[in-house]
Amino acid sequence: MGPWQSLTRRLGVLLGLGVLLALGACSTAPPEGITSVTPFELARYEGKWFEVARLDHSFERGLTDVSATYQAQPDGSVRVINRGFDSKKGEWKQANGRALFTGATNQASLKVSFFGPFYGGYHVAALDPDYRWALVVGPSREYVWILARDRQLSATLRQQLLDKAVQLRLPTEQLIWVSQMRDGG
């Protein structure tokens, strides 16, 4: 085998490994030991949710007053609008995404994309019977959100959600409690 063939083969192997790693990072399955809520009704989940708490990630770092709005679309997908205030820049930021159910539409397990063909898991692990709060986990335990219809949770409810998160082995000590002081989020 000549030097160019060897180099080409090595680059091909590296590219293949890169694709496999990227696909693994964009997992849409729930983390082991976490089951998404069933039965689930998208019509009741639609609308605006305030982000009460989250784990830190670069795509939300420094944002306050974060909200997520979900809208069912005629093709069966869900439009996702995430919005938050960047206090360093003094401006609102918005990201538009698309979610698809990964199985039955009565199970709260979806895949969401904000970046073209790359999807990540979105799994509602706990949900208020009246759809007033939700505990959401991504493709791994490194992605956790507590969402609510109201900007704040009572201390009792907050503790109940933390207890549930601990049962699911989620890193509650790393949660960031999101400020919700501005209108427009």
pLDDT tens profile 42-60? 999 999 999 999 999 988 9
pLDDT tens digit string along 156-165?
999 999 999 9
Structure tokens belonging to residue 33: 């030991």
Structure tokens belonging to residue 80: 């996702």
Assess contact for 182 and 65: CB atoms under 8 A. yes
Q: What are phi and psi of 21, to 5 degrees?
A: -65, -40
The residue ranking higher by pLDDT, 93 or 2, is 93
Q: Is the pLDDT of residue 101 over 90?
A: yes
In sequence order, the β-bridge partners of residue 110 are 101, 122
Residue with tokens 């509602």: 124
- Give me the domains of the chain, ranges plus CATH numbers: 31-177 (2.40.128.20)
pTM of the entire predicted model? 0.83
The Cα 124–Cα 122 span in angstroms is 7
pLDDT tens digit string along 6-18?
433 433 332 332 3
pLDDT tens digit string along 106-127?
999 999 999 888 999 999 999 9
